[in-house]
Amino acid sequence: MEKPIPNRATTPEALREKEDAVERDLRGLRQWRLRAEGAIESSGHILREWDTARDESLYCGAMESILGIYPHEMSGTFETWAALIHPDDRPGYRREIQRVLTEGGPFQVEYRAKRRNGQYIQLLERGYFISQLQGTTPVLSSMITDVSELRELESRLRQAQRVEAFSQLTGGVAHDFNNMLSVVVGYTQILLEDIPADDDRRTFLAEIEKAAMRASSLTNQLLAFTKPATVRRASVQANDVLNDVSKMLRRLLGEQITLELKTGDQIWPIQVDRAQLEQVLINLAAASRESMPGGGSLTLSTSNETIAEARSVGHEQLPPGRYVCVRILLEPESGRAGSKAFEKKRGVSAAADTIEKNDGVFAVLPADDGRIMIELYLPSAAESEKPKLKKPAPSTAPKSAKILLVEDDTAMRQLAKIVLSRLGHQVIEAVDGENALEILSGPQPLHPDLIITDIVMPRMGGIELAKKVSNLFPDTPVLLATGYPEQEAVATSTAPQFELLRKPFAVGDLISKVGALLDS
């Protein structure tokens, strides 16, 4: 009788081979799992696998870095994860999960979740539900991402877009408002010229003129918040600036901080952009209020300073010369103001940059008793204010000229026409650049002696018009007018051959500009 042939699959050698193969497969699976977990963690995501039938979840990935929680610390139930979600976001999360469990397919939901330290972060969960109908255990598989930084960047972008929109709005408002102020100032100055010197109404008119000019300064301050300001220096009395801005500063400082003015006598004039100096004082007042939450006092003072030799002021070097020093003393009611923290405030750094642009020196000087002294050294304009010899008046009346006036604002155009007509000039009106070209090259072409045009107008602006006019009439001077500070910079860089007149302008400024261009 023959012996049975042994089954190869049941021999000890074969069993060992099978065991080795299974071990290799398991080892390979473990390696692939480790690689997958490493890849998920390095990508900054959390992988969540929720077995809906047994209500068990497995987590891997960047759970520790995102939530400060290790995967093994989370029990497998759905409610454990839901407990991390902000109470306001939890109902919406439950509705979305219930929807995908009912309908199947992909889902996406965003919510706030609490980290171990108690802070909430913004999470985005995207996944897919695999149901039993697909031939497997029902599993909700999802990737969870921390999108807090992304949402913060998006918020900043939206804020920047709003600021840009506000910048465009304020620019348009400033242009229209400066036109209206030019009308107010212009007609006020005409009345001042016509009313006798002993008339009491001159005082009222002078106050109207002053208020209109002050309103123009405030408009430029509004523009300074959203656009880089151009430096327009002029001779300014520091005491006048402090007195004019003090009312605004008192409202800004509030009731807990007392404002006191100690202006010196016979203070020299300074060569500075007045609107920018006012903005510096406003920025410093706002920073002072933040530095003295418990109240205190702020003292503004002025003095003349003659520096014989260069010296250090704070972190800056003050060259020899004649200066007007504006000092701002902060005296907190309790505690210390903190000079280093004060210097880091955004408004303070902006103030320092503005003073530097006006050729001045800015310094924050701490005191031992918690007080802070801010010193602004601005170059004196006293030497440039020496009286100049006036040119003798012409013996004959100025010659009448043909002036093409291009202005889209009706009131502004009417004021300029009245001023120029009173001088004996013939004024031809145009509402924009294209209308002006039609008049210049129409059936009865006009050859003007001077063209006055606003820069910003519909259809065709003043700079484009001026360049076309220069080709038609090379010898005809052009005067550009604008209430947009940034348009002045554009005109200066792209069309420096043309004269500029800033709105709102005084009647005298218009007359002198026109006279100088016609004489040339």
- Higher-pLDDT residue of 274, 341: 274
The three state secondary structure string of 53-120 is: CCCEEEEEECHHHHHCCCHHHCCCCHHHHHCCECCCCHHHHHHHHHHHHHHCEEEEEEEEEECCCCCE
pLDDT attached to residue 353: 86
H and E: helices and strands count for the chain: 15, 19
pLDDT attached to residue 108: 93
Q: Is the pLDDT of residue 1 over 60?
A: no
Segment of 100-104, 114-118, 251-255 carrying the highest mean pLDDT: 114-118
Class for domain 402-519, per CATH? alpha beta
| 494 contacts: CB under 8 Å, gap ≥ 6 | 463
pLDDT attached to residue 327: 93
Query: CATH 3.40.50.2300 residue ranges in the chain?
Result: 402-519
Class for domain 43-146, per CATH? alpha beta
Query: CATH 3.30.565.10 residue ranges in the chain?
Result: 232-387
Query: CATH 3.30.450.20 residue ranges in the chain?
Result: 43-146
- What is the enclosing helix (H) or strand (E) of 50? strand 45-51
Strand partners, 312: 317
Q: Is the pLDDT of residue 202 over 50?
A: yes
**Residue 40 near residue 144 (C-beta atoms within 8 A):** no
Residues 212 and 266: their CA atoms lie apart, in Å, by 27
**Pairing state of beta strands 316-318 and 311-313?**
antiparallel
Mean pLDDT of 184-208: 87
Share of the chain above pLDDT 90, in %: 25
Residues 98 and 128: their CA atoms lie apart, in Å, by 13
Q: Which CATH superfamily is domain 232-387 in?
A: Histidine kinase-like ATPase, C-terminal domain (3.30.565.10)
Answer left, alpha or beta for residue 430, where phi above 0 means left and psi between -120 and 50 means alpha: beta
Residues 506 and 501: their CA atoms lie apart, in Å, by 10
> pLDDT for 382-428, tens place per residue?
644 444 433 334 433 456 899 999 999 898 899 999 999 988 999 99
Q: Is the pLDDT of residue 241 over 60?
A: yes
Residues 258 and 253: their CA atoms lie apart, in Å, by 8
DSSP alpha helix (H) spans, 332-458: 339-343, 346-357, 410-422, 433-440
